[in-house]
């Protein structure tokens, strides 16, 4: 009798273990397709072209020259300077507060006497990125930034964006279908070549207006104070770490500047005053910096071969511009070139 009870107990344990094993295997095989979809989505969303945050896994130590910036940061191409340890920290649609947060995370990787190019685009003068725009790109910062450098950080968002990103996208398969093949085939917008006629047809008033009304709508003095606050934070951090800050505005074709002037006739006066006031404030705080403004440079104004759209340099334009800037800071004694 006792032996029968023991056998029955063992059989129950074996049945329970078998059931648990089947349950585990069923859950695993049910979850496996999602893991695959999520991995494909992550590669498509965060691993393609300019939106590639995987590059932040390879931020070098002993950086000698680097730049911040939104999509206009594609103006820098350090490939012709292999002897310099360099890095391009730009990300598309990035506002200046995240230029600061990213620099804050990696500032200890800069060498003393290194150079940081701080990009200030038109949208980062008196414009502020709307919350609705930030929500579209917020998830990428959870892929590489520490919580202290993410505004409004929450552990729930960390779990959601890092491990279940596809589940919270309303069209994950569309993203996979459109972006992943481009990444696999190595297509990059920087390689785009268009005719002057096509270029001019694309730089329309509605497209330029989008900067002022959607991406970074102008907010007057509030926007100026907001942007200058983060710009001064970066300048101060450079001073503390013996890094040479160089504020820079990248080139734009004449047709784009003409469109800006039509839409907001006061903007360039505001921009000029913003530059002068920022440099004056930096001087009062003992921060040694310069502002290299190439936005109206005649070298680029009508040279459409250097652009791939109305505001972004092509690969050829980026290599030419980077040499121009490196030569200029060498002339100013900010950096020594062999």
Q: Would you say residue 30 has pLDDT above 60?
A: no
Euclidean distance between CA atoms 285 and 232, whole angstroms: 10
Average pLDDT over residues 182-194: 56
Contacts of residue 73, Cβ cutoff 8 Å, sequence gap at least 6: 67, 88, 89, 90, 91, 119
What's the mean pLDDT when you consider all of the chain?
Answer: 84
In sequence order, what are the beta bridge partners of 293?
Answer: 249
Hey, which of 37-41, 192-196, 241-245, 308-312 has the most confident mean pLDDT? 241-245
Q: How confident is the model at residue 54 (pLDDT cuts 50, 70, 90)?
A: confident
Q: Would you say residue 80 has pLDDT above 50?
A: yes
The predicted pLDDT at position 10 comes to 43
Burial of residue 282 (CB within 10 Å: 0-12, 13-18, 19+) is: buried
Q: Would you say residue 193 has pLDDT above 70?
A: no
Q: How confident is the model at residue 195 (pLDDT cuts 50, 70, 90)?
A: low
Average pLDDT over residues 269-294: 97
In sequence order, what are the beta bridge partners of 123?
Answer: none
User: Of residues 11 and 298, which shows the higher confidence score?
Assistant: 298
In DSSP notation, 288-319 reads: --EEEE-TT-HHHHT-GGGBSSSS-B-HHHHH
The predicted pLDDT at position 302 comes to 87
Q: Would you say residue 329 has pLDDT above 80?
A: yes
The predicted pLDDT at position 215 comes to 83
Contacts of residue 59, Cβ cutoff 8 Å, sequence gap at least 6: 87, 106, 109
The predicted pLDDT at position 245 comes to 98
Average pLDDT over residues 134-143: 89
Q: How confident is the model at residue 198 (pLDDT cuts 50, 70, 90)?
A: confident
Average pLDDT over residues 158-174: 79
Cβ contact 72:117 at 8 Å: no
Q: Would you say residue 50 has pLDDT above 70?
A: no
For helices 267-284 and 220-240, give the axis angle rounded to 10 degrees: 30
The predicted pLDDT at position 321 comes to 97
CB burial string 32-69: b at 16+ within 10 A, e below: eeeeeebebbbbbbbbbebbebeebeeeeeebbbbbbb
Euclidean distance between CA atoms 140 and 169, whole angstroms: 13
Q: Would you say residue 73 has pLDDT above 50?
A: yes
Question: What are 301's two structure tokens?
Answer: 């104004």
Of 175-179, 189-193, 321-325, give the lowest mean pLDDT range.
189-193
User: Of residues 207 and 277, which shows the higher confidence score?
Assistant: 277
pLDDT in tens, 81-122: 999 999 999 999 999 999 999 999 999 999 999 999 999 999
Give the DSSP letter of residue 70.
S
Hey, which of 7-11, 227-231, 263-267 has the most confident mean pLDDT? 227-231
Q: Would you say residue 155 has pLDDT above 50?
A: yes
Question: What are 54's two structure tokens?
Answer: 């995987």
Cβ contact 246:292 at 8 Å: yes
Cβ contact 111:64 at 8 Å: yes
Q: Would you say residue 331 has pLDDT above 50?
A: yes
């Amino acid at each position: 009798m006792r032996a029968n009870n023991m056998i029955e107990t063992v059989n129950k344990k074996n049945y329970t273990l078998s059931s648990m094993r089947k349950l585990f295997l069923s859950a695993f095989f049910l979850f496996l397709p999602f893991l695959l979809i999520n991995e494909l989505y992550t590669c498509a969303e965060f691993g393609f072209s300019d939106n590639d945050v995987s590059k932040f896994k390879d931020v070098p130590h002993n950086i000698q020259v680097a730049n911040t910036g939104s999509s206009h940061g594609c103006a820098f191409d350090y490939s012709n300077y292999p002897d310099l340890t360099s890095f391009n920290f730009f990300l598309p649609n990035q506002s200046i507060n995240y230029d600061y947060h990213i620099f804050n995370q990696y500032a200890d990787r800069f060498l003393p006497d290194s150079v940081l190019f701080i990009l200030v685009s038109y949208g980062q003068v008196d414009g502020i990125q709307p919350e609705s725009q930030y929500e579209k790109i917020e998830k990428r910062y959870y892929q590489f930034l520490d919580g202290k450098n993410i505004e409004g950080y929450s552990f729930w968002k960390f779990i959601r964006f890092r491990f279940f990103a596809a589940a919270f996208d309303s069209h994950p398969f569309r993203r996979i279908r459109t972006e992943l093949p481009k990444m696999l085939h190595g297509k990059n917008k920087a390689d785009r070549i268009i005719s002057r006629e096509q270029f001019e047809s694309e730089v329309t008033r509605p497209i330029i207006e989008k900067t002022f009304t959607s991406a970074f709508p102008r907010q007057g003095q509030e926007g100026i104070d907001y942007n200058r606050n983060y710009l001064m934070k970066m300048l101060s951090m450079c001073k503390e770490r013996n890094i040479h800050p160089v504020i820079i505005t990248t080139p734009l074709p004449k047709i784009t500047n003409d469109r800006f002037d039509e839409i907001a006739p006061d903007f360039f006066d505001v921009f000029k005053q913003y530059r002068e006031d920022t440099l004056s404030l930096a001087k009062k705080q003992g921060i040694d910096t310069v502002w290299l403004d190439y936005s109206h440079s005649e070298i680029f104004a009508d040279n459409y071969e250097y652009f791939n759209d109305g505001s972004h340099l092509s690969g050829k334009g980026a290599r030419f511009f980077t040499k121009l800037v490196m030569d200029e800071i060498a002339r100013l004694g900010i950096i020594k070139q062999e």
